Amino acid sequence: MSHSLAISRRQSALLLLPAAIFFTAFFLLPMLRLFFISASGQLGWSAYLAIVSDANYFRALWTTLAVAAVTTLLTLVISAISGVFLQRHAFPGRALLVSALTLPLAFPGVVVGFMVIMLAGRQGLIGEVFALFGGERPVFAYSLAGLCMGYVYFSIPRTILTIMAAAEKLDPRLEEAARSLGGSPWHVVRDVILPGLRPAFVSSGAICFATAVGAFGTAFTLATRIEVLPMLIYTEFTLSANIAMAAALSFSLGAVAWLALALARSAAGATVAAAG
């Protein structure tokens, strides 16, 4: 029986080939080309060293990593509090709340940037509120804080979904046991809930980090002055026509993003499927 079901070589080739040809022609080969071009500048292969030795590039690298780290931390804390709460408690309007929280799921970076301008721009809501109380209008949309806010805005929806799914699988008996043994709510959170959510934190945190490292649209909308790596790549390529350096920076950026995802996968094991 199983013999009749086996896929022949020809059949697997027919199933695989369309995707394989497309992927090779438009991703693998271009990337290979880009890799060699990254060493074709004046610096040769040491273009990769320049990322660490050149003060400008190095600062941009650190800024990018710092923004991504802060974004990840904020997103995880916010999503954990709201996600666990929403998973645990049924109340009228809950479904609506969950819908609203996941609505920005597919906003492109440029739109997220515009949302930040709406909140913290020159005519933004936060400024209005401060002005109402007679204070000075804070305008931070066009700074690193604004960028961070945009990335958090972008990351909350998918992180909340992952954490809600993980919270659903937590065993409530463990919490009851902890409580019956006299654990305070804080102890239950620290020793039972947080460890249970760890795999979800790791996987969604990695996606959050990788997205914040590589995203371009939000920074582009907010300001060309924000010196994060994706913006630097863009200016190297378009303004300085330094394709070799842009390529080297792209590969380094890609490596950081990929590494974050790969580390998370090996840390979380096969128990957590990466969220789409």
- Judged by CB under 8 A, the chain residues 237 through 266 that form the site for another protein are 237, 243, 246-247, 250-251, 253-254, 257-258, 261
**Residue recorded with tokens 């990840």:** 72
Quick check: 150 and 116 in contact, CB under 8 A?
A: yes
User: How many residues contact another protein, by CB under 8 A?
Assistant: 80
HSE toward the beta carbon, residue 60, CA cutoff 13 A = 24
SS3 state at 89: coil
Integer Cα distance of 110 and 122 in angstroms? 17
**CA 78 to chain centroid:** 15
The interface with another protein within residues 12-31 (CB under 8 A) comprises 12, 14-16, 18-19, 22-23, 26-27, 29-31
Q: Where in 105-134 is the site for another protein (CB under 8 A)?
A: 105-111, 113-119, 123, 125
- Does position 204 bind another protein by CB under 8 A? no
- Residues 228 and 237: their CA atoms lie apart, in Å, by 14
- Least distance CB 229 / another protein (angstroms): 9
Burial profile 54-76: b = 16 or more Cβ within 10 angstroms, e = fewer = eeebeebbebbbebbbbbbebbb
Per CB under 8 A, 102 contacts another protein:
yes
- Using rule CB under 8 A, residue 170 touches another protein: no
Q: Is 215 in the site for another protein (CB under 8 A)?
A: yes
CB of 172 to another protein, least distance (A): 15
Percentages of the chain per state (helix, strand, coil), in multiples of 5: 80, 0, 20
Q: Is 85 in the site for another protein (CB under 8 A)?
A: yes
- Of residues 7 and 66, the one with the C-beta less far from another protein: 7
CB of 145 to another protein, least distance (A): 14
The residue among 115 and 166 lying less far from another protein, judged by its C-beta, is 115
- Choice between 139 and 243, CB closer to another protein: 243
142 lies in the site for another protein, by CB under 8 A: no
Q: Do the beta carbons of residue 45 and residue 126 sit within 8 Å?
A: no
The rounded Cα 271 to chain-centroid distance in angstroms is 20
Local structure of 215: helix, strand or coil: coil
User: At closest approach, how far in Å is the CB of 18 from another protein?
Assistant: 5
Cα 158–chain centre separation: 10
240 Cβ neighbours under 8 A, 6+ residues apart: none
Residue 136 CB, shortest distance to another protein, in Å, is 19
From the list 44-52, 77-85, 132-140, 191-199, the region that binds another protein by CB under 8 A is 77-85
Euclidean distance between CA atoms 88 and 82, whole angstroms: 10
* Min dist. Cβ of residue 43 to another protein (A): 17
Near another protein in 33-62, by CB under 8 A: 33-34, 37
Binds another protein by CB under 8 A, chosen from 89, 92, 134, 266 = 89
Span interacting with another protein, options 65-73, 82-90, 131-139, 169-177, rule CB under 8 A: 82-90
